Structure 1
Amino acid sequence: METKDTVFLVVMVLSSFLLSFQWLRRFTYRPENPFIDPLIILSIMILAGTLSLMLISINNKLQDFEDTIEARDRSLRVNMESSETKIEERMNELSSKVDNAVYEFNRRKYH
């Protein structure tokens, strides 16, 4: 996991804490309870943390998939260039054989 992913994870968890705390304080303020329902706040923090970890995991899988596709693309490109070279060599060889055969045919025809 990269440093920026860790920073984003921490920011998401802290912002979920602040959001849930302020939201609960605004709508369910009870002066006798200074810690406004910590279970809800903890649940939201866990939800934000797992969501951010899931997003990081998906990002890593997509990156691996992209790397695999690029490797296959490079491999196909090399194979195509190799095939092109072989075909070109065979065509040159065949062309020289045909030229030699035509030359021999013309030589025999006129002598």
Structure 2
Amino acid sequence: MEVKDIGLAAVMIISSIVITYKWLTRLGDSDPVIIISSMLLVGSLAIMIILLDSRLRNLEEALDAKERSIRINIKGVEENLETKIDELSKNTTSTIGEFSKRLYR
């Protein structure tokens, strides 16, 4: 977790406490249970968002690693295929050359 994530979570919790307190004082009695439950609600929401962000970053890193390995594998296959095609074209050229020599004899 980064410092900005923790800071934003703290801001979310503090703002929920202030909003709930002000809202309840305008309506009459302020119940500390409501204030604490709103703090827990917003705190759990903030933690859920932070954990979701962490999971998304882990998935992104895993996808990047797999993408790199696939690129390397494709490059290796491409090089192998290229050498085989070159050998095949040389063999085909030499075979065609032999056939053309036999035809002219």
What is the TM-score of this pair, normalised by structure 1?
0.89
Q: 1:60 Cα shift?
A: 0.5
Identity %: 36
Q: 1:84 Cα shift?
A: 1.0
Aligned partner of 2:40 in structure 1 is: 46
2:100 is aligned, of 90, 106, 109, to 106
Give the Cα separation in 2 of the matches to 1:52 and 1:39: 20
Give the Cα separation in 1 of the matches to 2:68 and 2:74: 10
Give the Cα separation in 2 of the matches to 1:68 and 1:83: 22
Aligned CA-pair RMSD: 1.1
Runs of at least 4 residues off by over 4 Å:
none
Aligned partner of 2:90 in structure 1 is: 96
Give the Cα separation in 2 of the matches to 1:52 and 1:58: 10
1:63 is aligned, of 57, 61, 64, to 57
Post-superposition Cα deviations, 1:59-79, rounded to whole Å, max 9, x if no partner, equal 110111111111111111111
Which stretches in structure 1 are left out of the alignment for 5+ residues? 30-35
- Structure whose residues are more often helix by fraction: 2
Aligned partner of 1:73 in structure 2 is: 67
Give the Cα separation in 1 of the matches to 2:52 and 2:89: 54
Give the Cα separation in 1 of the matches to 2:81 and 2:26: 76
The alignment covers a number of residue pairs equal to 105
Give the Cα separation in 2 of the matches to 1:28 and 1:77: 65
AA of the residue aligned to 2:27: F
Q: 1:16 Cα shift?
A: 0.6
What is the TM-score of this pair, normalised by structure 2?
0.94
AA of the residue aligned to 1:71: A
Aligned partner of 1:21 in structure 2 is: 21
Which stretches in structure 2 are left out of the alignment for 5+ residues? none
